[in-house]
Structure 1
């Protein structure tokens, strides 16, 4: 994993702000040398920037929207991008519940439901980097891969969507109602907050799920990430309703301190092969350091838990004291005992040591 806190790394981020297309190569080499980047490495970066980087992504509406966000950010730094769609295991089998991929005696896939094929394309050199919704990325990456950058994080909250007015964000009123979600984390939290709620599974991309809600009279609501419906332009923050294909949908945001999001929720991650140094340097120009610090802490906690994408864990971070302090709150449900109360904890520490928060949380969990 790259270290983003050194002065040299920070100075390298400035490379992307140079108007590469308006400079001669010799002038650019001079700028790179002033930033302590070796001439050979600088030439490699320049050569890379002179051609289009191939961005691999899933083909859903949300995935393509996020890929275009990355494309726009890189083009603003003088780096051209070509988008390549890769169909993943999760896309190929929309008939299966997400938990069914890794369940049973003969699991289809242990992890990487939405990332495996993208990583295979990285290995074959068919793409230069992959763009993911970070919450879909396995906690433990395979050997030879790394998350090298993240875009600025979107809002991390979940949203309850219904087709009837008056539901609001009070989850305790959902007893006896049927709510659809594909997330084990959302299902367990909802059942903990409101015993007696009926939770059912749902698959499909964001627009498909909203259509299913509208057309299914047996469902009272669905749970989705705010970041997704906002990025797609379906939902505007603070609005209680929105129109979707002629139908009125009611939206209630669930505060993150009451209904904890997934680790990494709202973050768009850029994954590369670890040996592609020049690609890493080019993508560094769009990395958002505060987001990177936050997701480092959240994912470190998941790693220590040995938790995967389908483990019922909520975790989120925030900055305090003008960014000097990083705080993290977690809610961990027992996978084998549905009726057991979750482990709940909160810690604070130096923002410069995000992984240290995870260590302290694990100490608390061991003592609980």
Structure 2
């Protein structure tokens, strides 16, 4: 029997990361019967720092750096990421060779089983659990008076914190795609439409990263690249790149790609930047015919980013970053910390 060629896949150890990687693994095995795709599981900085909000750590590549080091050392041949975790400035020598078909990018409300509360009824006395400053700032804008508490950990850990008898949380805000990939759809209480909350850049999409000079791997993963997803996500990432943001700043987006008559592809992009308390917001929207052209999608993102800057997005982000750098102050027993705009 001929020994199969091995193409190793690097991934984080979390249940969601493994679920996403197994999805990629299955697709690659189906297309490449002469190859085997074992998983190399790793922990990252973001996984190891659980005691504080991501926004207060003040660095990028929290969930990718260790994986990229492994790829650089040829310990694995490709990496599987949640695209929203991948910095817009891809490390030199690497490339995002494929963006898989996007799952639903919306955020959702998750309450304890059997409980329900309409979004318009949230207010003083309600405690919203989220580790995202983007979600926190938008929910404060939607529901004045709510209290936002940071909640870290993988999806099952967060759900356990919500369900605990002494839980302080009224609900959690999570990504629909993560729950769906873990077969936890039944925990979704309500989906938040774009009119209520704009999602994170790249949310719901799986990115496959490899070495830029590895022609064999690039050819292997090429069939998994979904053009409508890439067009939408490249436009979103273009906005973030110009605004110099990351997962720790409150930038929200929404994109739609429609293929109309005579195969004219139209891409619509909406984006916002919000202050931590939700009182200051810059919003912009634009539409362009991109017709499958990634560069035109990136240009649309630049257009929207420049509109945001003209409306004061840079001043809002400067204030967010200043607040983040002056956040950690001892409180209570010393085991807890107060974060400006947060409670841990």
Whether the 8 Å CA contact 1:89–1:114 is kept in 2: the answer is: yes
Whether the 8 Å CA contact 2:161–2:167 is kept in 1: the answer is: no
C-alpha spacing 1:357/1:233, structure 2 compared with 1 (3 Å): same
Q: Which has the larger radius of gyration?
A: 1
Structure-2 separation of matches of 1:250 and 1:72: 27
2:48 maps to what in 1?
Answer: 92
Number of equivalences: 300
1:318 is aligned, of 247, 256, 272, to: 256
| Mapped pair 1:327 → 2:268 | yes
Whether the 8 Å CA contact 1:349–1:356 is kept in 2: the answer is: no
C-alpha spacing 1:339/1:326, structure 2 compared with 1 (3 Å): closer
Structure-1 separation of matches of 2:202 and 2:148: 24
Q: Gaps (5+ residues) in structure 2? A: 312-344
1:148 is aligned, of 74, 85, 97, to: 97
Whether the 8 Å CA contact 1:156–1:256 is kept in 2: the answer is: no
Structure-1 separation of matches of 2:222 and 2:120: 41
2:240 maps to what in 1?
Answer: 302
Q: Gaps (5+ residues) in structure 1? A: 1-48, 103-109, 236-241, 243-248
Secondary structure at the counterpart of residue 101 of structure 2 = coil
Whether the 8 Å CA contact 1:165–1:250 is kept in 2: the answer is: no
- List structure 1 segments (4+ residues) > 6 angstroms apart after TM superposition: none
TM-score of the pair, normalised by structure 1: 0.77
| Mapped pair 1:117 → 2:66 | yes
1:127 is aligned, of 76, 95, 99, to: 76
Structure-2 separation of matches of 1:207 and 1:256: 26
1:345 is aligned, of 278, 284, 291, to: 284
Structure-2 separation of matches of 1:101 and 1:362: 25
RMSD of aligned alpha carbons: 2.0
Whether the 8 Å CA contact 2:253–2:272 is kept in 1: the answer is: yes
TM-score of the pair, normalised by structure 2: 0.82
* 49-58 or 137-146: bigger deviation: 49-58
1:259 maps to what in 2?
Answer: 197
